[in-house]
Every structure is written in C-alpha cells, then in structure tokens.
Amino acid sequence: MLSAALAVIGALVYGSADFLGGLAAKRLRSIVVTAIAALSGLVALFLAQPLLGGAWTGADLAWGVLGGVVSVVAIALLYACLAIGPMSILSPLTAVVSAVAPMLWGLLVNREALAPVGYAGLGLALVAVVLVGFVPGERIVRPSARGLFMALGAGLAIGTFLIILDHTSDGSGLAPLVASRATSAVITTAVVGFLALTAVRRGLPASSVLAVAGPPLGAMPSGHADLEHATTGSIAAAPATARAWWLAAICGIADAGANALMLLALREGDLSIVSALTALYPAGTILLAAILLRERVAAVQWAGLGLALVAGAMLALA
C-alpha cells in the first residue's frame, strides 16, 4: 500500500512539474527549460542525498549515468513524435508504452506475483492512462509510421528509465538519481551551448537561442510532454522571461522530487505496480491547468481520472 501511495503522489508531482515547465516553455525554448530544470534538480538531489544517506557504489552510479542518457533519448524522441503528431494519438500511446514495458519486465523477468485484484487494477490503470492522456481534436488524423515509431521509442525509453532505477541497490539512497540528473544536465547544457555557438557563427547573439522561436513545442526533463501538448490553447498570457527562468528551476526541483518518490516506491513495492501508477502523471498537469488556467477538461479525461482512482485503490490492495 505504501508503494502505491508513493507512486500516485509521485505521478501527481510529475504532472505538476510538467505544468510548471510548460508555462516556462511559453517564453524559453524547451531545450533551455530542460537544461535549467536538470541543473536545479541536480542541486536539489545533491543537497537531499546526505539527509537520506546511502552508499556511492560504482554500480549504482553507472546505472544512474545510463538512466540519464536514456532520459535524454526519451526527450528527443518525444519531442520529435509530438512535433509530427497527431498529439491526441501519439501522446497516450507513449504513456501506455512507458507503463507496459516496465510492467512486463516486472511480471516476466522479476517474476512479480500479484493478487487477482492487482492484475485487474493493472488493466484498469492502462485504460485510465489512455483516457487521461487523450486530447480530443476536431478531426481525426491518421498518424504516420514515423510518428508511431518515435512514440513507441519514447515510451520504451521512459519505461527503460524505470527499469534502470529498479536495478539500483536499496542502500544507494539518492545517489543513482544524482548521477542520472548530472548526466542529463551535462548533455542538455552542451546542446544549448552548441546552439549558442552556432548562433554566434551566424552573426546572431548567443542569447537568441534562449527564447521561443516558432511554435512552443517541447518536452520536460522527465521525458513527458509539456503543457503545450496537454492543451489545445490557453487563456493565460505567457510569463515574463525572468519568471520563466524561475518556473523552469522550480520545475526541475519538482521533477527531482517526483523521481525520488518513484525510487522510494520501487524499493517498497513491485515495478509492475509502480510503472502503471507513474504513467498517470498527466492527471497532475490536467488538474492544475483546470484550476489555475481554467482549461477545459474533456469528459473522456474526467472518466480517466475516475478510473485512475479506482485503479490506484485496487493496486494498493494487490
């Protein structure tokens, strides 16, 4: 029950982080938001690590570095597939794959055994993931093979990140997450630096790569879609650039907290259950958008939220 509760809370915090990052992405390029969030999250995890204790072993740090690389791959693939669209199909597909991959690993490889109510809860959770992540559109667009391939790849990468964290030792504390976030920070900061250098060579100021240019499309450090992908429009004005930097930094801290909750959930319970509940992260984004931005929540999404609560209760009893 504790594991399920931690996973649900972590999913809501994930959604909150994406909400904040999405607001920041209205002013700053998503890769810049991701880099800022990676750095602030790294600082938060580094400061929290001594409080929780844990040994810094080479194996756990290696798993963390691998997780950081995988998370960057997830961001790149998610960015690409959602840019191709249609979002209403590819977004929930990514979420489902990110849940199914570690779920199957837990059941088939780790030999996790659940009570009958647990298996029913897993199935219900997958349905909830599809409904919560579904963004109704005015017309149905058939996804391209390329978009589907990238959505599957993004989902597999996100699910692989969970599997990697599940391989870390219980006595490592937050060390694997520190290594993972440091890796992500190095990679994303290097990308921003390369973009700035390219801009300078073209005769443009380095700061020109920071602001949004074109459609505000992006992804957050967790590998999830940002707020622009979760809504069809916003009545709120874009935040000032200075505020966007703060929002990106807070996004990183929230995302780091969600990662920590997910890691604790994995150490308390089964990978199959944690992965199914973590994939419900869009619920946090949708609820905050509805409350703070007065975004309209579709009936299908409300149904998904209701099923998510039922699935969470069933998995807590598993």
Tokens of 201: 């060579």
What is the model's pLDDT at position 234? 42
140: closest CA among 97, 218, 87, 94?
A: 87
- Distance in angstroms (rounded) separating the CA atoms of residues 64 and 182: 9
What is the model's pLDDT at position 85? 62
Regions of the chain where pLDDT drops below 70: 79, 82-83, 85-88, 135-141, 212-240, 318
What is the model's pLDDT at position 309? 78
Q: How many domains does the chain have?
A: 1
- Distance in angstroms (rounded) separating the CA atoms of residues 255 and 10: 9
What is the model's pLDDT at position 232? 44
Amino acid at 199: A
- Distance in angstroms (rounded) separating the CA atoms of residues 260 and 67: 14
Dihedral over alpha carbons 114, 115, 117, 119 (to 10 degrees):
30
Domain hosting residue 77, numbered range: 2-316
What is the model's pLDDT at position 135? 66
229: closest CA among 128, 126, 118, 151?
A: 151
In sequence order, which residues have a C-beta less than 8 Å from that of residue 290 and are 6 or more positions away? 296, 297
Residue 116, judged by CB atoms within 10 A of its CB (0-12, 13-18, 19+), counts as: exposed
Amino acid at 246: W
What is the model's pLDDT at position 19? 82
